[in-house]
Amino acid sequence: MLLIDKLEIILITYNRKKHLQNTFNQIFAQESPIKDFPITILDNASTDGTSELIKTYCKKFPNIKHIRHKINIGGDANICRAFEIGASSGKEYVWVLCDDDKYDFSNWKSVEDEINKNTDIICVANYSFPSKKYFNNITYQIFQLTFVPAGIYKTALITDTILTNMYNATYTLFQQSCIGIEAINNKKNIVVVDRAIVDNGLHYKDACKDTAYTRGTDKNNVLKRREYISWILGYSNILYLLKNIELEKDCMDIAIPNVEIFGSWTAFYMRVKERYFNYKNFEYFLEIFKLLKLPRKLKLLFYAISPIIIYKDSKRNIMCLLFSKLKIRIYSSKWFESILSLTNRDEYKILRILGFTIKLNRINSSGGGAKHCSR
């Protein structure tokens, strides 16, 4: 059987006319090995001329099928719809493409070889792997397969349960990961090609300006979890599908400091503290916290809790002096003042701890005008 009869290709798009034109230039180029493959385009009710662009290509390439949704079902639901169509196509494999990526088909022969070997998942992107020696590392495979076009999947993997999980997981942003995670749970075969076929065309900084999961929706009228979703919260949620808790933690451990995500653990701690360490979103903080290894948990708690001890004048504050050796900048927190507070007076300070009041006299130092706190 020819590869064209084995592989179903589906491309998802919404209001990306400029990006889609670039994608078409690549996949329908003369040297493209997939230019003659049947390609279904799921147009999520675009309004920027994207639909008209697709129609012009349909006239040039009869192998294109254009499905335009009457309403925008959301980018994540459109991904689920693509895999649903692929699983129902009757073909052995499905490859879901996005409208803003970069392609290099020079290594396409390796994809053909793996399909002919009946490989369960062919990973055709590898930018998340530090080097080729990590290609067989499950944690990096899971991380890489969060990128939608990274995986060419056997349609047999997409069962009723998996597809239902995918639709249920749209809030995570990683519904496509349901397939790879279930494959790993069942010890299926995943192969990463030596040279990538596809690379992310919209990297982190650009993606932050163009959050695909909210485009076309009223951002002031969404469910709370959708409003406060982030890459790390969604990733931690989808990892719960893994049957090995230590593997879940390993997945978090390699993804968080990646340059495309937070870039460093410090940036992660500060971002999670800022976004989720509050009364309104504390349950989300715990969801992330649970999947960290013990040293990371302790550091996250330290970053989250230490700033609640607040004094603006660290040079004159006895509690600030206690923390100064740790090189932590200490900020204000009004709710904590009911537990611990310090009030300045002309000649003394009042320190209150859990309702107990301590008077701190000011004493001039012999070295200059600096004042120190003394009992």
DSSP category for residue 315? T
At 201 the pLDDT is 82
**pLDDT tens digit sequence for 287-338:** 999 999 999 999 999 888 875 444 444 444 444 444 444 444 444 444 445 5
Domain boundaries, the chain: 3-207, 230-307, 309-374
- 231-258 b/e with 16+ CB inside 10 Å = b? bbbbbbbbbebbeeeebbbbbbebbbeb
Residues comprising the chain, all counted: 375
Beta strands in 167-313 (DSSP E): 190-192, 198-199
Looking at residue 344, its pLDDT comes to 63
Report residue 147 as tokens. 């990128």
Residue 216 pLDDT: 64
Longest CA–CA separation in the chain, Å:
92
**Cα Rg, the chain, nearest whole Å:** 27
Percent helix, strand and coil across the chain, each to the nearest 5: 45, 15, 40
Predicted pLDDT of residue 9:
98
Mean pLDDT by 10 residues, the chain (375 residues): 94 95 96 97 96 97 97 95 97 97 97 97 97 97 98 98 97 97 97 96 54 64 88 97 96 95 93 92 96 94 68 43 43 49 63 63 42 28
Q: Which pLDDT score, from 0 to 100, does residue 116 have?
A: 96
pLDDT at 304: 86
225 contacts: CB under 8 Å, gap ≥ 6: 171, 284
pLDDT of residue 332: 43
The pLDDT, as a whole number, for residue 352 is 65
Helix (H) or strand (E) holding 12: strand 7-13
pLDDT at residue number 327 = 42
d(CA 34, CA 3): 10
Name the CATH superfamily housing domain 3-207: Spore Coat Polysaccharide Biosynthesis Protein SpsA; Chain A (3.90.550.10)
pTM beyond 0.85 = no
